[in-house]
Every structure is written in C-alpha cells, then in structure tokens.
Chain A
C-alpha cells in the first residue's frame, strides 16, 4: 500500500489519532499564536493606511481571514460529514462535530468585524445585500448542525443526521463566494485572487496572507483539541483510553 494511504488509514484508528493529536497539537497552537502576533503587528502597525479609508481598512486583517475560514471550515465539515455518512468512520463523525463550533466562531467574527467596518465606510452596520445575508445564513447553518446533532441522545445518530443538514447547506458556500459577482451588492468585490493580480498593494497584502495562514493553523489546533477530547469521552472505558489517561497523569 502507498505509504500516504497507509498513514491515512492508521489515522482513522482512535488510539493512533489520539497519540497523533497529543503530539502535534502544541506545535499547531504555538505557530498559530506566533503568526497571529506577527500578522497583527504588521497589519495594525507596519502596513500603510489606505488612500481612501484611512486606518479603518485594517479591520480587514481580522475580517477577511475569518471570512475565508468560515467557508473553508464548512467545506472540511461537509467532507467529513459525507465520509461519516458513506463509510461510517467514527473519527469522521467526531471531526465533523468538532468543526461546527469553530466554524460558527469564525462566522460570528466575520459578521461582527464586518459591522464595525461597515459603519465608518458605508455608513451602516448592516444591509441586506446578497453577501451579508448569505454569510448570516452560514452562521445559522452552523447553529443548525450543532443543534441537530445535540438533539439526539445517541452521538453517532446525531452526527449522521446533522451531516445530512450540512451537506444540504453546501450549496450556500459558492453562493457566498460568488454573491459579489452575480448580483449588485454593497459589499465590494474580490480583492485577493489566486489566479491573476490582486487589487491590493503588496505592502498591505503580506500581513493578510500571514493572518490567513495563522487562522488555518489555529483551526487545525482547535480541531485536534476538540476531536481528541471527544474521542476520549466516546471511547471511555476502553483499554487504550485508560492507558492514555494513566500516561498523562
């Protein structure tokens, strides 16, 4: 078997994942923290003020990475939901459930920072345009997944029911992304492009990319942390959990 595949299969086994998470979690956490400090410093102190918006554009350094994460995490969550539904892998169910609160947090940060950016620039905290509304729908989808999963007594059954909801909601992710292109919105269009030139000066772009990486690392850290404890709780009483607890004590 291909070594990457084998590693993937091993990772699906609860004791292996637990050990993997315990070992790597701190590294993800520390590098996320470091990059956040660097990114914040560069964004809030070093980057020049915008020619039009002045200093208020700096909210972007929190708003944009959080918005990217809100959609990225939804993708990861839906993928794990699909794997949980098709292959019934226990770990995927837990990964799926652990994604939801992290994604909801990033979505809430996006909406709140967006409001504080909107007031000084647009003149309003909130408008019901396609971009803002679809992002709000994303928050409700996360809440729905969390709520539906916890409405079942059986965790595995709840996870599978919520996975169906999450997969139904996948349609919202491209809508959020393309909303500024498909419709007239108050929200501005895309600034950072993977293909083609970004319409932001490079001195202002770097802190943004560092923050994007920092939030990705934080997500991995938080996902490992949550899944690890959910795993230990679900498998409690099993031999490997007892051994791991003894080891940690």
Chain B
C-alpha cells in the first residue's frame, strides 16, 4: 500500500477507534441514565428518590393481582425474584398484562412503600412459540413439580 493510502487508512481506523472509546466512556458514565427502568431490588436499596417519578420494571408476582370491584384500580406486586414491591394503578392494563409476565410501570414511590403508577406497559420476552408448545411446556413443568414433591 502506498504511504498516502496507508496514512488515510490509519487516520480512519484512529477516528473510528477514538469515537468508539469516547462513546464507550460516555455511556459507562451515563449507565444509570440510559437504563429504562429500575428493578425492585434497586428501588428498595434506596437507588431512587422518594416522591420522584421513575420507572419500575419486573415480573408481576403470581397470585398477587387484586382488582377493585367498583373502579379501574388494580393492585399487584412487582418482583425481580429477590425483592417485591407493591404497585397501585388506576386505568386500563395492557392486553399482555399477566401474572408471571414482565411490566414496566411509571410512577413514584409513596410514603407507605407503595409504588403508585400512572402508566403500566407490558414487556414481553424474546420467546415465541405456538400455543400447543407453550401448553406442553407448562404441562411438563407441572408434571416435574408433582413428581418432585412427595404425593400425599
């Protein structure tokens, strides 16, 4: 390669590497701000200020959903399987809102340790399968669980 082209090549490689490094450093420094939501563990560890709006993400704990009979108010518990946080929301929940599925709720932590949400979005995971397969997996899991525990 002739020297001029070699210099241009090195210049370009230097440019891309330099910008990569600068962006890497900036994003590492801003790590907290780029995260879309906090997990219950992070919230309970005091990572979020009380009374300020932030997003909470996690799985809706199985068997925790309670709906108000007369209003659109719903209570449920969001968990990351380490810590739990009770959530209160008034409004229409998205179609994919289900126990055992993930949600992202926007709102603020109130004094009683309850997270009052103004918006609840459903987060779905990267698994796609037909209904029959999902049922077969659930059945297999149930069977395994019943085999694992001593039968009465």
Contacts and interface: CB of A to CB of B under 8 A. Distances in A.
Interface of A: 48-53, 57, 60, 82, 85-87, 120-124, 127-130, 164, 167-168, 170-171, 175, 182-186, 188-191, 199-201, 203-204
B35 A183 contact: yes
A200 B122 contact: no
B134 A189 contact: no
Interface in B31-67: 31, 34-39, 57
Nearest to B134: A51
B126 A183 contact: no
Given A120-B95, A123-B122, A183-B35, A51 B133 contact: yes
Contact of B129 (A51, A121, A123): A51
Contacts of B31: 183
A128 B34 CA distance: 9
Interface of B is mostly: mixed
Given A122-B94, A171-B23, A201 B120 contact: no
A122 B36 contact: no
Contacts of B98: 52
A188 B125 contact: yes
Given A123-B122, A167-B15, A85 B129 contact: no
B3 to A, nearest CB: 12
A203 B96 contact: no
B128 interface: yes
Contact of A57 (B19, B119, B128): B128
A191 B126 contact: yes
B114 interface: no
B36 A130 contact: yes
Given A50-B131, A51-B134, 7 more contacts: A86-B9, A122-B121, A123-B122, A128-B36, A186-B123, A189-B126, A204-B128
B23 A201 contact: no
A3 to B, nearest CB: 22
B19 A130 contact: no
A64 B46 CA distance: 38
Given A122-B123, A183-B36, A200 B129 contact: yes
B5 A168 contact: no
Contacts of B38: 184
Contacts of B133: 51, 201
A52 B124 contact: yes
Contact of B122 (A122, A167, A191): A122
A168 B23 CA distance: 11
Interface in B93-141: 93-96, 98, 101, 104, 119-135
Nearest to A200: B128
A175 B23 contact: yes
A168 B19 CA distance: 7
A121 B131 contact: no
B12 interface: yes
Given A82-B12, A171-B20, A188-B123, A201 B5 contact: no
Given A85-B12, A86-B9, A188 B126 contact: yes
Contacts of A184: 35-39, 57
A184 B57 CA distance: 9
29 contacts: A48-B130, A48-B131, A49-B130, A50-B128, A50-B129, A51-B134, A51-B135, A52-B96, A52-B124, A53-B128, A60-B128, A86-B9, A121-B95, A121-B122, A121-B124, A122-B94, A122-B121, A122-B123, A124-B119, A124-B121, A130-B36, A167-B12, A167-B15, A184-B39, A186-B36, A186-B123, A189-B125, A200-B127, A201-B128
